[in-house]
């Protein structure tokens, strides 16, 4: 079944209350609904049947004592060791315990939930040999808001992270429930569940695959898509705030570049500004604007192409089985195929590219903020947009914040997947470093939301000042201005601006800025 992205539904995640896992791929907004907004998970009958068939095959292989990695052999370099059947369960318990060695501060709740959901998707394909009741226990934890305590540092791809998450299923480790941190056994008891003992192969299933990197990369993808569409809205406001010439977005100009994302960005800005009297007034007021306006379609468009390419990789990985080995049914029997579907490079390499896309959007946004607050460049606005320059600093230091965030984004944009440190007695000789790639891509996306929030805050202030001289803002940009003014009051003098940044960035992150503009302009193209 084809996996695709529907950008028109990107802001629906916060309204989805339940998803049902079955044959159809989970959409990105459904995935985020569970991971970030607490939507419930259930299984279709088809899902349960395919998992059951796979488990029956695992039991058959075990009874026949077939040589199958992780079922009748040890793990990693210990693959040479054949495990007696009486130690098969102990082997699975030991992999969860021995792999739970990540360190540092705990992973955020949405990331833990994203990883568990990815395990339900991958292991539920019916090729892993896991029991339905094991997946149901994970779903119970998700649906009852149990969140394992998972130190986030020190994993090359997935092992330590997924070990820590699933340790709680055995009643070990720690987890949050109802706002309290408690033992895994206590958390299970509070939701009416008992500690679980892994059956043969299940410990391997739950510490294997690209699920950790893919789950967190999916969250980063969603945040980058939100940012990319929001960036076009901020850019439209910038055209009015700087009284630029909209000819830089002329359809004829962009028809000569064969990049649809560039043309779509220009079309988004034209659509949002279609009823702007300011744009009509200044269309021929200058020969051309500085790059910060003139290059928006090209720069935003390129970033969007990067994001779209990454979306294809991540969504395909979300719809895949990334386990090893996979148990493949054949003519009433079956075979165990040992390979490397656990590798996360499709998702984590895309996470690295998402960082570059975000860095390009961030640097353009920050430059627009700087130009707007810089009295030497901002076309007669007061210094730092202050009502009383000198006694008031207004957005002087707010721009510093944007500049610092861009610097942090640039530092985090060095590719993680280009690196490798061999592990497991060199049995795992190249490793993806996918976990760090995924983590930093989510960090970068969240910083980008702040950068865009700062720009929108500054543009809103500029609109307040500009309306003293000009009339006829576009309906879409004026609606965004008004929405921001619902949470950020007008600036009359210096105040504590930190909460203003947080409030505006929140409107970016939850898609409110996009929904406000699209209510008037229609769905923005990607």
pLDDT, tens digit, 9 for 90 and up, residues 172-194: 999 999 999 999 999 999 999 99
Distance between CA atoms of residues 319 and 184, nearest Å: 30
pLDDT, tens digit, 9 for 90 and up, residues 226-248: 999 999 999 999 999 999 999 99
Which among 181, 57, 155, 161 is positioned nearest to 118, based on CA atoms?
161
* Segments of the chain with pLDDT less than 70: 1-2, 74-80, 83, 420, 423-429
- The shares of helix, strand and coil residues in the chain, as percent rounded to the nearest 5, are 60, 10, 35
Cα atoms in the Cβ-side hemisphere of radius 13 Å centred on 227? 37
Strand partners, 147: 176
Identify the pLDDT of residue 223. Answer: 98
Provide long-range contacts, Cβ within 8 A and 24+ apart, for 492-498: 492/387, 493/387, 493/388, 493/392, 494/386, 494/392, 494/393, 494/394, 497/395, 497/397, 497/398
Distance between CA atoms of residues 53 and 49, nearest Å: 6
Angle CA(406)–CA(412)–CA(413) in degrees, nearest 5? 90
Which among 110, 76, 209, 96 is positioned nearest to 160, based on CA atoms?
96
86: CB partners within 8 A, 6+ apart: none
Cβ atoms of 457 and 484 within 8 Å: the answer is yes
**φ and ψ at residue 153, rounded to 5 degrees:** -100, 150
Token pair 């998450």 is at which residue? 165
The encoded tokens of residue 123 equal 């292991």
Active site (catalytic) residues: 69
Q: What percent of the chain has pLDDT over 70?
A: 97
Identify the pLDDT of residue 5. Answer: 93
Q: Which helix (H) or strand (E) holds 9?
A: none
Distance between CA atoms of residues 345 and 435, nearest Å: 10
| Burial grade of 88 (CB within 10 A; 0-12, 13-18, 19 or more) | middle
Strand partners, 82: 73
Identify the pLDDT of residue 406. Answer: 98
Identify the pLDDT of residue 317. Answer: 95
> In the chain, what is the greatest distance between 2 CA atoms, to the nearest angstrom?
84
What is the rounded end-to-end Cα distance, in angstroms, of the chain? 23
Identify the pLDDT of residue 429. Answer: 65
Distance between CA atoms of residues 167 and 454, nearest Å: 41
Identify the pLDDT of residue 159. Answer: 86
Cβ atoms of 467 and 404 within 8 Å: the answer is no
SS3 488: coil
pLDDT, tens digit, 9 for 90 and up, residues 87-124: 888 889 998 999 999 999 999 999 999 999 999 999 99
């Amino acid at each position: 079944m084809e996996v695709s992205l529907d950008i028109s539904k990107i802001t629906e995640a916060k309204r989805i209350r339940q998803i049902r896992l079955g044959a159809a791929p989970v959409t990105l907004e459904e995935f985020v609904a569970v991971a970030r907004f607490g939507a419930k998970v259930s299984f279709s009958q088809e899902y349960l049947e395919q998992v059951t068939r796979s488990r029956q095959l695992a039991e058959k292989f075990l009874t026949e004592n077939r040589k199958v990695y992780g079922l009748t052999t040890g793990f990693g370099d210990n693959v040479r060791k054949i495990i007696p059947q009486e130690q098969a369960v102990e082997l699975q318990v030991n992999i969860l315990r021995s792999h739970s060695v990540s360190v540092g501060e705990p992973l955020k709740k949405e990331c833990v939930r994203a990883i568990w959901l990815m395990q339900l998707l991958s292991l539920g394909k019916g090729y892993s040999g896991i029991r339905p009741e094991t997946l149901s226990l994970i779903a119970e934890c998700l649906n009852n808001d149990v969140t394992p305590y998972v130190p986030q540092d020190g994993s090359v791809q997935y092992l330590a992270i997924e070990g820590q998450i699933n340790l709680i299923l055995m009643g070990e480790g720690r987890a949050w429930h109802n706002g309290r941190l408690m033992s895994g056994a206590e958390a299970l008891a509070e939701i009416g569940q008992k500690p679980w003992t892994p059956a043969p192969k299940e410990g391997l299933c739950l510490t294997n695959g690209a699920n950790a990197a893919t789950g967190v990369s999916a969250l980063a993808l969603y945040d980058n898509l939100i940012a990319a569409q929001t960036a076009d809205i901020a850019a439209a406001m910038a055209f009015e705030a700087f009284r630029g010439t909209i000819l830089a977005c002329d359809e004829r100009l962009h028809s000569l570049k064969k990049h649809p994302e560039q043309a779509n960005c220009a079309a988004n800005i034209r659509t949002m500004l279609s009823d702007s009297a300011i744009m009509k007034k200044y269309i021929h007021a200058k020969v051309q604007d500085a790059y910060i306006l003139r290059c928006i379609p090209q720069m935003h468009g390129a970033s969007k192409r990067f994001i779209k390419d990454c979306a294809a990789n991540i969504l395909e990985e979300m719809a895949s089985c990334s386990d090893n080995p996979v148990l493949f049914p054949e003519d009433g029997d079956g075979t165990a195929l040992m390979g490397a579907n656990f590798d996360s490079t499709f998702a984590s390499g895309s996470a690295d590219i998402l960082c570059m896309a975000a860095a390009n959007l961030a640097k353009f946004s920050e430059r627009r903020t700087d130009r707007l607050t810089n009295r030497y460049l901002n076309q007669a606005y007061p210094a730092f947009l202050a009502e009383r320059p000198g006694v008031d600093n207004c957005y002087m230091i707010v721009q510093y914040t944007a500049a610092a965030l861009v610097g942090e984004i640039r530092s985090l944009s060095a590719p993680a997947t280009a690196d490798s440190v061999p592990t497991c007695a060199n049995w795992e000789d190249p490793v993806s470093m996918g976990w760090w790639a995924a983590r930093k891509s989510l960090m970068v996306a969240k910083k980008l939301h702040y950068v865009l929030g700062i720009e929108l805050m500054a543009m809103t202030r500029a609109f307040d000042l500009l309306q003293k001289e000009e009339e006829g803002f576009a309906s879409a940009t004026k609606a965004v201005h008004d929405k921001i003014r619902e949470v950020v009051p007008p600036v009359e003098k210096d105040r504590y601006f930190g909460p203003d940044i947080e409030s505006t960035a929140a409107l970016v992150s939850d898609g409110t800025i996009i929904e406000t503009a699209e209510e008037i302009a229609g769905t923005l193209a990607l």
